[in-house]
Amino acid sequence: MATTTPPPQPLDHFIERDGVRFAGIHLLVDIWGAHGLDDIDLTERALTDAVRAAGATLLHTHLHHFTPNGGISGVLVLAESHLTIHTWPERDYAALDIFMCGDADPYKAIPVLRAAFRPDAITLTENKRGLIP
């Protein structure tokens, strides 16, 4: 009697932790008292290094520097989702979104961002996206 192997299931890159299945972790990160928020080269290096530290796959980077010494807004598109930044150098403040699915760990990006921007304070909110009921 021949046995058949069921067809492989497609990968959905959802995460399962503590019995909960969801699409990914979305961190909302505010950094206060930060340095270099008007330096586009520093920002690009920091974000790229943060993606690498998190184990994510960078697909595309787009950063916009509003004026010399002005704020920066940008997105890094990842195979695992995205990382965005908006800076207010006049307030030493930046807002970042880090959304990653699969095996990437967005928490591993935080020490890289801390080292690059040397903030006085970081606030962090975690959201589990795509919770399966």
Catalytic residue among 13, 35, 65, 86: 86
Question: In angstroms, rounded to a whole number, what is the distance separating the alpha carbons of residues 133 and 128?
Answer: 12
101 noted as active-site residue = yes
81 noted as active-site residue = yes
Catalytic residue among 60, 73, 81, 82: 81
73 noted as active-site residue = no
Please give the DSSP secondary-structure letter assigned to residue 9. Answer: P
Residue 76: half-sphere exposure toward Cβ, Cα within 13 Å: 22
Kindly list the catalytic residues.
81, 86, 101
